[in-house]
Structures are given as structure tokens and as C-alpha cells.
């Protein structure tokens, strides 16, 4: 398209800023000296450096990032490319996440440039465009996949980036991540403690690395509890309620159904509620479920969903801080942080009231396992 016709228009009359020349004039120095003083060059005496800092601060001088960028190539802005389209399970966290990023950025006087994309290819193109236009000095990559094309792209381009989540090949990767595996482990142990023996695990999107980790954590929990894992009790790729409902339905049809479910994703866990209602089973009593994410929808379910909540705001803030340091040249090894999810104990889990056998009978009593119902009249 190129820029079609006259992008220019009415002149802007904003109050004029103080420029570096204003500062240098006031100090009787050249702008080059002021620049070097402000940017920590060694060939400036301490006395003048301090004088420059003091005066420029007093005058309210703030360098124009795009004026600097013309020479430095850096614009002090973080890039965030959000991909929607498939299943949008990270939407609920977006506000918190953005807020965290924005805070982390503005603390260092950086800004955040966001863009959205529909597909993987679109995402890569958008990243490239932002990079090529120098609209972002580096990128925050949410929802990292086991083998993430964005990582390859940015690694090859030698552009700074930081992952929200870990990935298989850690080369050149800085990250912040929540220890989902630890949460899954604790979920299992909690259910075991409540008396459950048959515990199902419904994992999330298999392309994401978090799935690998959460499964590991779940298996670790079983191991510690001395329970042998049962392949029939492990499902995968459940991120929407429909997916979770399907997985639940399938497992409840087993001759030896699980009395408890661990979901890697809250939204999928909400599907279990539908199935339970369908079968006349009461969640939190006949069926226990613990999930992960802490989406607001879970708090509004009946009973409210017990879940491991992640602090998306903190994640955003840490990611921003890490990325800024990365752009400034720190090695990735120093830029890897993790945090824990926090258990929110609500009403969806508890000691089993039915044995697996009793549950199986209750389920088979319902001749027809209906599909996803419209939601009802009680």
C-alpha cells in the first residue's frame, strides 16, 4: 500500500518541549556534551555530569525517544503481539497482564506497543513488521509453545525477547513463568488427602509447553501418593468448556470412573459442571474438581471452582522488567524467573461421597448422555 496520499495535515501546535539544545545553551555546553553526560559516557567529569543532570532535571528535559531512535535504533518500547482466534483462553487475564506490563515499562520510562494477529503466520509477520519499523525494541511472547516459531524468528533476527512460559530449547531464552507443575502436584496431593483414589487429569493445549510441565507435575503427585497413573484417566487438548465436557463425559463412562478431576485449565473445568448437571451429580460432593488459572468465570460457577490462581499482573510486570534488562544487554542466564500459583480453596472439591463403583452406577442410570445443553430451567 505504501502511504497512500498525504499523511501530513494540519500542523501540531503543542506546547514546545525543552530540547537538548535548550539545556546545553543554559549550561554553556554543547549538546554533544550534554548527551554524553546524560548517557553515562566516561569522558565527562563528575562535576559537569552532576551539573548537567541537575539542570536538565530542573528544566524538565526529557529526550525524545524517536529522536534518539534515529541514531540508536532503539525506541524504548516493548512489543506485545497477541494472538486471538483459536481458543481465547487467556482473555480474562489480559487486563491484568497488560496492566502489569505497562507498569513495568513506565517505571523505566518505556512504553508498550501492542498488536494483534489471527494466526501463527500473522503473528510472525506482525513481529517482523514491528521489528522492521523499529516500533519495538524487543518482544514479550505469551503462551509459549514447546517449539515456538516466534522464538526461532527472533533468535535468528538477534532481537531481544522474553517468554511468558518456558520452552523446550532454552537457548537464548529469557523467561518468567509460573510453576504450573507444582500446582498440579499439589492438586493431586490435596485430592488424595481428601480420600480420592481415582484421579483424572485433563490437560490443556498440547502444543504449549505448559502442558508438558503440568502433566509432569500431576504424575509426580501421583507418584508421591503411591498411585499408579492410568492412561484412561489422562486427557489432553481441553481448553474450552466443550472440550472439558467431552473429556469428562468420556471418563465418567469408564467402568471405573474417577471421583476427582484435575484440570490444567479453568475454562475446560467449567465443562465438567455441565456434564455433572446433566447427570444429576453435584460438583464438590459427588465429583471433585480442581483446576488452574483463576479465571473470573470460575468464581461465578456453582459451586465456585477451586483453582490455582496466577498473578497475571505480577507476570506482566516481571516480564517487562526482564525484557528491558535484556534489551540493555544483560545475558539471558540472569533473566529467568519463576513464581508459584496460589491455591484458591473454594467449593468444588472435597472428600468423595461415592466410590468409583457407585459413581459408575449413577452415571449408567442416565440412559442418555446428552450433548452440551443450552442451560436450563433447573
Partner DNA sequence: GTTTGCTCCGAAACCGGTTTCGGCAACTGT
Partner DNA sequence: ACAGTTGCCGAAACCGGTTTCGGAGCAAAC
Decide which of a copy of itself, DNA, none touches 33; Cβ closer than 5 to 8 Å per partner kind: DNA
44 touches, from a copy of itself, DNA, none (C-beta below 5 to 8 Å by class): DNA
Least distance to DNA from the beta carbon of 137, Å?
Answer: 13
Q: In what order do the strands lie in the sheet with 234-235?
A: 234-235, 199-202, 260-263, 288-293, 306-309, 342-344
Please give the Cα distance from 291 to 298 (Å, whole number): 9
Please say which residue, 73 or 375, places its beta carbon nearer to DNA. Answer: 73
Of residues 3-42, which lie at the interface with DNA (CB under 7 A)?
Answer: 8, 17, 19-21, 28-33, 35-36, 38-39, 41
State the nearest-atom distance from the C-beta of 39 to DNA, in Å: 5
213 or 260: CB nearest a copy of itself: 260
To the nearest 10 degrees (0 to 180), the angle between helices 31-38 and 20-27 is 100
Shortest CB 165 distance to DNA, Å: 33
- Nearest to a copy of itself of 58, 223 (CB atom): 58
Q: Which does 255 bind (CB under 5 to 8 A by kind): a copy of itself, DNA, none?
A: none
Residue 232: CA atoms inside 13 Å, Cβ hemisphere, count?
Answer: 11
CB of 28 to DNA, least distance (A): 6
Nearer to a copy of itself, 181 or 317 (CB): 317
What character string, x for contact with DNA (CB under 7 A) and - otherwise, covers 294-323?
------------------------------
Site for DNA in 251-270 (CB under 7 A): none
Grid coordinates belonging to 180: 504450573
Taking Cα atoms as reference points, which of 128, 125, 124, 130 lies closest to residue 111?
130
Within positions 42 to 71, which residues make up the interface with DNA, using CB under 7 A? Answer: 43-49, 61, 63-64, 67-68, 70-71
| Burial 197-233, CB ≥16 within 10 A → b, else e | ebbbbbbbbeebbbbbbbbebbbbbbeebebeebeeb
Residues 6 or more apart in contact with residue 152 via CB below 8 angstroms = none
Closest-CA residue to 168 (of 149, 184, 152, 145): 145
Residue 129 Cβ, how far from a copy of itself at the closest point, in Å? Answer: 8
Pairing of strands 161-164, 174-178: parallel
Q: How far is the CB of 53 from DNA (least distance, A)?
A: 12
Question: Least separation, in Å, of the C-beta of 372 and a copy of itself?
Answer: 12
Size of the site for DNA (CB under 7 A): 31
Q: What CA–CA distance (Å, rounded) separates 28 from 353?
A: 83
- Residue 112 interface partner, choices DNA, a copy of itself, none, CB cut-off 5-8 Å depending on type: a copy of itself
Q: Closer CB to a copy of itself, residue 74 or residue 250?
A: 74
Cα gap 33→27, rounded to integer Å:
10
Residue 204: what are its φ and ψ, rounded to 5°?
-95, -155
The minimum distance between CB 1 and a copy of itself, in angstroms, equals: 7
Each residue 72-91 as x (binds DNA by CB under 7 A) or -, in order, gives: x-------------------
- Scanning the structure block, which residue is given the C-alpha cell 511468558? 164
Give the C-alpha separation, 47 to 29, whole Å.
13
Closest approach, Cβ 75 to DNA, in A, equals 11
| Residue with Cβ nearer DNA (22 or 172) | 22
Enumerate binding residues for DNA (CB under 7 A): 8, 17, 19-21, 28-33, 35-36, 38-39, 41, 43-49, 61, 63-64, 67-68, 70-72
Amino acid at each position: 500500500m505504501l502511504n497512500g496520499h498525504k499523511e501530513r495535515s494540519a500542523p501540531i501546535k503543542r506546547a514546545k518541549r525543552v530540547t537538548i539544545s535548550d539545556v546545553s545553551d543554559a549550561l554553556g555546553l554543547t549538546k554533544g556534551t550534554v548527551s554524553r553526560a546524560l548517557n553515562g559516557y566516561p569522558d565527562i567529569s563528575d562535576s559537569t555530569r552532576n551539573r548537567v543532570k541537575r539542570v536538565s532535571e530542573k528544566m524538565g528535559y526529557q529526550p525524545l525517544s524517536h529522536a534518539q531512535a534515529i541514531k540508536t535504533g532503539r525506541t524504548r518500547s516493548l512489543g506485545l503481539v497477541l494472538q486471538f482466534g483459536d481458543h481465547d483462553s487467556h482473555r480474562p487475564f489480559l487486563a491484568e497482564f497488560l496492566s502489569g506490563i505497562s507498569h513495568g515499562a513506565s517505571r523505566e520510562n518505556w512504553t508498550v506497543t501492542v498488536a494483534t494477529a489471527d494466526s501463527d503466520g500473522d503473528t510472525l509477520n506482525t513481529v517482523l513488521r514491528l521489528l522492521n519499523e523499529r516500533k519495538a525494541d524487543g518482544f514479550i511472547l505469551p503462551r509459549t509453545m514447546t517449539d515456538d516459531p516466534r522464538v526461532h524468528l527472533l533468535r535468528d533476527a538477534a532481537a531481544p525477547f522474553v517468554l511468558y512460559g518456558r520452552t523446550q530449547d532454552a537457548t537464548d531464552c529469557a523467561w518468567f513463568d509460573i510453576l504450573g507443575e507444582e500446582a498440579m502436584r499439589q492438586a493431586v496431593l490435596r485430592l488424595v488427602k481428601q480420600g480420592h483414589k481415582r484421579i483424572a487429569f485433563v490437560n490443556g493445549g498440547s502444543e504449549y509447553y505448559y502442558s508438558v510441565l503440568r502433566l509432569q507435575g500431576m504424575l509426580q503427585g501421583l507418584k508421591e501418593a503411591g498411585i499408579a497413573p492410568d492412561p484412561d484417566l489422562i486427557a489432553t487438548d481441553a481448553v474450552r468448556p466443550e472440550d472439558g465436557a467431552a473429556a469428562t463425559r468420556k471418563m465418567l463412562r469408564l467402568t471405573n470412573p474417577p471421583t476427582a478431576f484435575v484440570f490444567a485449565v479453568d475454562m475446560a473445568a467449567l465443562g465438567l459442571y455441565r456434564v455433572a448437571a446433566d447427570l444429576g451429580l453435584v460438583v464438590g460432593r459427588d465429583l471433585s474438581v480442581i483446576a488452574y488459572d483463576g479465571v473470573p468465570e470460575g468464581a461465578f460457577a456453582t459451586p465456585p471452582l477451586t483453582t490455582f490462581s496466577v498473578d497475571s499482573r505480577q507476570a506482566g510486570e516481571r516480564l517487562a522488567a526482564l525484557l528491558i534488562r535484556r534489551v540493555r544487554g544483560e545475558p539471558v542466564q540472569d533473566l529467568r524467573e519463576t513464581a508459584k500459583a496460589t491455591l484458591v480453596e473454594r467449593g468444588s472439591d472435597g472428600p468423595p461421597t461415592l466410590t468409583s463403583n457407585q459413581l459408575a452406577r449413577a452415571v449408567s442410570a442416565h440412559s442418555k448422555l446428552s450433548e452440551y445443553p443450552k442451560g436450563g430451567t433447573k
